[in-house]
């Protein structure tokens, strides 16, 4: 794996003195999908804007494909495509023209075949002669993606691509992202929907109050940080947990026909073997055993609300 | 230089112009004709000649300047204000282009449109009065420099403005009075001595005087001063643009 984007101790204070980024360090590998997860105001847009050249960093450095975003901004920016959080388009402009404009802006000559390919991929081909104002919100978002892809970037930033978007469209968006990944584009997307990160990311970064709290493989993150639960289902309901099982700190479910055991997957001993032995000793008859992994959501809530002190 | 980007911006701005070409063409024709009817006939019947030039012909350079200046400012200011207003400026800021290229694209397009209208007015005027151009090169230079320098000023206004009221503030409150008091419709020598002196502080006087000289060889102020004034004004606008470029004023947070 090669690092395509490298952010080092990036800080950003706005003119009013507010520090929106407090020293973010992050490496992004070529070809991956990284989801930046964080509540509103966490600094996700600020981070993207700084990497893309829309705001100037207060300190720190960013390199894209080895090019510094300030001293070699042309080479760095050519590699990046940005889909902004807010829909911003010229209402009277035609779809085709606005995508063509974006391509030119990034220094590329005309390439009708390439633009056709992009428009088709985003299901915009039939709308190519329409003015932007005639399109639905979802279509406009696709136009923004088409504009961002017009110069064939290696890295694509999607700032909250599915915020305020209906379920159908969100699934479409995920499909588009997966398709882009297959074509070799590195994708960084921000979201405050956990299920989105869970569904499409390879790695997840959690950001809050201008700080990157962690970045990890999604699976590792869930395995490491996640508590797992075993649900031991009984053939006959019981009214109370037998005393002999009290060491396991079990809870009984509502109907009383399942014992729930919570354990840390990264603990030395999970205690599963002794638990099952002890349950058998009490004479209870097992109907089924299920494991359940806690979602990113729980991890996220724990992290963000967790008091560092 | 990212020429493709400059071309993209220029084309985009010109496309807006071509979409409304009929309007862009007809409105200066109409307004020029009206000026001739109102000023040329009503006032021209009292002021027959100014320094040997018929009054109708005398006002032509001023009329052209009036439109060219106003259009340069409005074209360039709206050109850059709209992306700010609509939020599409994110694309300019994240593109591999520098501020100079952005300026060339927007100012180039604004100046082109103003130049086009200036030539339409000149053409329309020939239907009403006899026009001679004694110094065609000087005429072209003054016209092009005016289009460029006031487009630069318009660009600055567009960057500076944070709402639509501010967009019309400079053109309405500053530029229009300066143009009307700058000898568009009269010669400075027709004013009382005190006003003649005060008028010399109006930069537009130098512009119109020089432009008129290129037509008829008559001027209110020496041609050298006119040339210096327009060059100094262009330089000043470029300096301000350069400063905006270095500081990112009102563009990059
Ligand atoms: N131009 C600005 N000036 C001052 N503060 C800003 C500006 N833009 C964003 N902020 C502040 O910086 C913080 C991070 O904002 P943002 O990056 O937009 O968060 P997110 O995208 O994660 O919701 C917020 O508290 C926001 O109010
Ligand atoms: Mg945001």
Residue A82: predicted pLDDT = 97
By most ligand atoms within 8 Å of CB, the mutation choice from A13, A37, A46 for ligand 1 is: A46
Task: Tell me how far apart the alpha carbons of residues B192 and B196 are, in angstroms, rounded to a whole number.
Answer: 6
Task: Tell me how far apart the alpha carbons of residues A193 and A96 are, in angstroms, rounded to a whole number.
Answer: 32
Residue A309: predicted pLDDT = 34
CA-based nearest distance B17→chain A, Å: 13
The confidence band for A294, taking pLDDT boundaries of 50, 70 and 90, is low
Place of tokens 């009269």: B186
Q: Which ligand is nearest to the CA of A44?
A: 1
Tell me the two tokens of residue A236.
Answer: 């006959």
| pLDDT 10s digits, B29-76 | 898 888 888 776 777 677 778 888 888 888 899 999 999 999 999 999
| pLDDT 10s digits, B120-137 | 999 999 998 889 999 999
Q: Tell whether B177 is within 8 A of chain A (Cβ).
A: no
The confidence band for A291, taking pLDDT boundaries of 50, 70 and 90, is confident
The confidence band for B161, taking pLDDT boundaries of 50, 70 and 90, is very high
The confidence band for B187, taking pLDDT boundaries of 50, 70 and 90, is confident
Cα A46 to ligand 1 centre (Å):
6
| pLDDT 10s digits, A136-182 | 988 999 999 999 999 999 999 999 998 877 888 888 889 999 999 99
Q: How many CB atoms lie within 10 A of CB B31?
A: 16
Lowest mean pLDDT among A60-74, A100-114, A139-153, A271-285: A271-285
| pLDDT 10s digits, B142-158 | 999 999 999 999 999 99
Task: Tell me how far apart the alpha carbons of residues A263 and A208 are, in angstroms, rounded to a whole number.
Answer: 27
Of B148, B167, B175, B4, residue with least CA distance to B84? B167
By most ligand atoms within 8 Å of CB, the mutation choice from A45, A51, A159 for ligand 1 is: A45
Q: Which helix (H) or strand (E) is A3 found in, with range?
A: strand A3-13
Average pLDDT, chain A: 89
For chain A, list the domains and their CATH numbers.
3-223 (3.40.50.300), 226-305 (3.30.70)
B contacts of A90 (beta carbons < 8 Å): 82, 86, 88
Burial code (b: 16+ CB inside 10 Å, e: under 16) for B38-70 equals ebbeeebeebeebeebebbbbbbbbbbbbbbbb
Task: Tell me how far apart the alpha carbons of residues B107 and B157 are, in angstroms, rounded to a whole number.
Answer: 12
Backbone angles phi, psi at B177, to 5 degrees: -60, -40
The confidence band for A297, taking pLDDT boundaries of 50, 70 and 90, is low
A20 pocket-lining for ligand 1 (C-beta < 6 Å):
yes
What does DSSP say about strands A33-37 and A19-29: parallel, antiparallel, or unpaired?
A: unpaired
Residue A308: predicted pLDDT = 43
The confidence band for A9, taking pLDDT boundaries of 50, 70 and 90, is very high
């Amino acid at each position: 794996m090669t690092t395509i984007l490298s952010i080092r101790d990036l800080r950003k204070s706005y003119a009013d003195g507010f520090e929106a980024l407090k020293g973010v360090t992050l490496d992004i590998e070529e070809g991956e999908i990284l989801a930046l997860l964080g509540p509103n105001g966490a600094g996700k847009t600020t981070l993207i804007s700084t990497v893309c050249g829309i705001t100037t960093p207060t300190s720190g450095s960013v390199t894209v494909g080895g090019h510094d975003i300030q001293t070699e901004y042309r080479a760095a920016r050519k590699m990046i495509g940005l889909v902004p959080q807010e829909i911003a388009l010229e209402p009277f402009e035609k779809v085709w023209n606005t995508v063509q404009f974006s391509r030119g802006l990034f220094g590329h000559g005309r390439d009708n075949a390439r633009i056709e390919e992009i428009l088709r991929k985003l299901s915009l081909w039939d709308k190519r002669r329409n003015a932007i104002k005639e399109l639905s919100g979802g279509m406009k978002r696709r136009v923004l993606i088409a504009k961002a892809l017009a110069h064939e970037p290696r890295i694509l930033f999607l700032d909250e691509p599915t915020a305020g978007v209906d379920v159908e469209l969100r699934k479409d968006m995920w499909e588009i992202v997966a398709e882009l990944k297959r074509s070799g584009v590195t994708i960084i997307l921000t979201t405050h929907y956990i299920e989105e990160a869970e569904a499409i990311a390879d790695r997840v970064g959690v950001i809050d109050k201008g700080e990157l709290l962690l970045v990890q493989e999604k699976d590792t993150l869930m395995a490491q940080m996640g508590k797992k639960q075993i649900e031991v289902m009984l053939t006959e309901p019981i009214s109370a947990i037998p005393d002999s099982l009290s060491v396991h700190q079990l809870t009984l479910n509502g109907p009383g026909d399942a014992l729930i055991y919570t354990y840390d997957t990264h603990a030395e001993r999970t205690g599963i073997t002794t638990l099952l032995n002890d349950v058998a000793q009490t004479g209870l008859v097992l109907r089924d055993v299920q494991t359940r992994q806690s979602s990113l959501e729980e991890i996220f809530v724990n992290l963000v609300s967790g008091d560092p002190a | 230089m990212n020429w493709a980007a400059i071309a993209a911006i220029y084309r985009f701005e010109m496309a807006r112009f071509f979409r409304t070409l009929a309007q862009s063409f007809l409105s200066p024709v109409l307004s020029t004709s009206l000026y001739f009817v109102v000023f040329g006939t009503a006032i021209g019947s009292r002021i027959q000649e100014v320094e040997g030039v018929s009054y109708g012909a005398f006002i032509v350079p001023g009329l052209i300047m009036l439109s060219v200046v106003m259009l340069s400012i409005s074209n360039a200011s709206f050109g850059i204000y709209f992306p700010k207003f609509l939020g599409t400026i994110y694309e300019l800021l994240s593109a591999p282009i520098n501020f100079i290229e952005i300026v060339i694209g927007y100012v180039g397009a604004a100046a082109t449109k103003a130049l086009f209208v200036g030539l339409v007015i000149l053409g329309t005027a020939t239907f009403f009065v006899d026009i001679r151009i004694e110094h065609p090169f000087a005429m072209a230079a003054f016209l092009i420099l005016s289009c460029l320098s006031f487009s630069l000023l318009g660009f600055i206004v567009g960057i500076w403005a944070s709402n639509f009221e501010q967009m019309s503030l400079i053109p309405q409150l500053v530029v229009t009075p300066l143009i009307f008091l700058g000898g568009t419709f009269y010669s400075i020598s027709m004013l009382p001595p005190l006003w003649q002196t005060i008028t010399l502080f109006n930069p537009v006087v130098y512009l119109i005087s020089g432009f008129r000289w290129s037509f008829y060889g008559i001027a209110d102020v020496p041609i050298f001063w006119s040339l210096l004034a327009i060059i100094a004004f262009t330089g000043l606008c470029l300096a301000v643009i350069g400063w905006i470029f270095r500081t990112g004023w009102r563009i990059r947070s």
